[in-house]
Chains A and B, each alone.
Chain A
Amino acid sequence: MSKPRDYESIPGTYVYDAERGRIGYALNMFCMSLNRAENRKSFKDNEAAYLDRFGLNSEQRRTVLERDWLGMLRVGGNIYYTIKIAFCDGLNFQDVAGMMSGVSKESYAQMMLAGGRSPEGNRYKDGAPAESDRG
């Protein structure tokens, strides 16, 4: 096992690293297929059947079918890939960002207009030591 990564102390962030790359490949390659218009149509026509063509595990399937955007990241989804499912649904990056951060579309948009989410208080998970404190 490799050592814990210092970026793991960043809250609410899912770095697409080697670990996630190993578990997320099939999920992300399904998303990649949605770059083709005919595949987007097949997916929308019958999502479950379309997913059968890719080797997703059951939890990955669930997150896609339920549009559990945060869940997708936890099972190896890469945001640049999973966003393609949102595009299929007529959603954009800001819609999905609001859903991932658990607020309404309106309050997320308002936060962005007011200058975005401040880094103050959002740099470290609660109780996570700063890198300089690590052994």
Chain B
Amino acid sequence: MAKIVAGIATSHVPAIGVAMDRGMTGTPYWEPLFKGYGPAREWLAKLAPDVAIIVYNDHASAFSLEIIPTFLIGVADKFPIADEGFGPRPVPVVRGHPALAWHLAESLILDEFDMTIANEMPVDHGLTVPLSVTCGQTTAWPFPVIPLCVNVVQYPPPTGARCFKLGMAIRRAVENFEQNLRVVIYGTGGMSHQLQGERAGLINRQFDTAFLDGLTKDPLALTRITHTEYMREAGAEGIEMVMWHVMRGALDENVAEIYRHYHVPASNTAAGLMILENRSVA
């Protein structure tokens, strides 16, 4: 039986990827952020999961406004790196896990989550920056990945509560997979940030801290945050944090907070990272 052993929440700021790709991680601007990623990389290398489910949003890379899937799962055996407008990131192609991905697609749809299925898609910084943050620079990612996209680009994204329930359904599906696999799930995006308008640059450390605290202790309360509250309190693009609920919903009710890191600024964004382990997997 497959099992979800841990969850990782992390921001996926594109500039973090650029800093790594251009060898700038030791500069005074970036050093404090990357120093905080060290313990997460050590933890993940030691955990050595068999596969990762990465919940993220595509940023006008694989999908345009032509078709806007609310929830989508990638079932391919490999995912090329997208050109987002300045050339693809120089990172390895992402290997998929078609057997588990197809099992998830079937299970989720029959469990009343109407997933879109992608046989071909490039992946953008939303997926590759979390890999870079947690795996470092490498010539091959250490595990296969199942991309799970959530629309947050066209309003409205799915609610936090719906995302949490999707996470619960992912867990049920994983646990019904016959092969013994240790699975980690990433929830990505956020934390507080606003990229647009006269209010660009908004950061709300108080909101973010309460969100990180609540993720461990009372995640259901966080699922009741409305879209308007995210946008007002955490910036228009802070609404990406709904994707963290998918990750949290896939974990045990009782989890152990293994690690957290929070740093302002990463470009326009408050960068957060948190590792949660299921207590049942101690």
A and B co-occur in one complex: yes
**Which residues on A are within 8 Å of B, measured CB to CB?**
5-7, 10-18, 21, 25, 28-29, 31-32, 34-37, 40, 70, 73, 78-81, 83-84, 87-88, 92-94, 96-98, 100-102, 108, 111-113, 115-119, 122-124, 131
Closest Cβ neighbor of A99 among chain B residues: B200
Q: How far is the CA of A62 from the CA of B18 in the complex (A)?
A: 31
The residue in chain B whose Cβ has the minimal distance to the Cβ of A24 is: B65
Other-chain residue from B18, B154, B268 in contact with A97 (beta carbon distance below 8 A): B268
B278 at interface by CB-CB < 8 Å: no
Cβ contacts A to B, 18 pairs, < 8 Å: A5-B228, A12-B199, A13-B194, A13-B236, A29-B64, A35-B84, A73-B196, A84-B60, A92-B15, A93-B195, A101-B199, A112-B201, A115-B203, A116-B264, A116-B265, A119-B207, A122-B202, A124-B232
Q: Interface SS of chain B: helix, strand, loop or mixed?
A: loop
For residue B66, give the distance in angstroms from its CB to the closest CB of chain A.
Answer: 7
B231-A7 in contact (CB<8A)? yes
Whether B196 pairs with A100 at a CB distance below 8 angstroms is yes
Residues 189-205 of chain B, each 1 if its beta carbon lies under 8 Å from chain A, else 0? 00010111111111111
Given A97-B195, A115-B203, A115-B264, 7 more A-B residue pairs with CB atoms under 8 Å apart are: A14-B196, A35-B82, A35-B84, A40-B85, A112-B268, A118-B203, A123-B232
Residues on B facing A (Cβ under 8 Å): 14-15, 18, 59-61, 64-66, 82-87, 153-156, 192, 194-205, 207, 227-228, 231-233, 236-237, 264-265, 267-268, 270
Q: Which residues of A contact B197 (CB under 8 A)?
A: 12-14, 70, 73, 100-101
How far is A13 from B228 in the complex, measured between Cα atoms in Å?
11
Chain B, residue nearest A90 (CB): B86
Count of A-B contacts judged by CB separation below 8 Å? 152
For residue B84, which residues in chain A have a CB less than 8 angstroms away from its CB? 35, 84, 87
Are A15 and B236 also in contact (CB < 8 A) when A70-B197, A100-B196 are? yes
| B201 near A97: Cβ-Cβ < 8 Å | yes
Nearest-CB residue, chain A, relative to B64? A32
- Which residues from chain B contact A119 at a C-beta distance below 8 Å? 202, 204, 207, 232-233
- When the two chains form their complex, are residues A32 and B65 in contact, meaning their CB atoms are under 8 A apart? yes
Check if B82 sits within 8 Å of A13, measured CB to CB: no
Asked if B196 and A32 make an inter-chain contact with CB atoms under 8 angstroms apart, the answer reads no
A-B pairs, 8 with minimum CB distance: A116-B203, A12-B198, A12-B199, A97-B200, A84-B85, A87-B85, A79-B196, A112-B265
Set of chain A residues within 8 Å of B196, measured between Cβ atoms: 13-14, 73, 79, 97, 100
A21 in contact with B65 given A117-B202, A117-B203 (CB within 8 Å)? yes
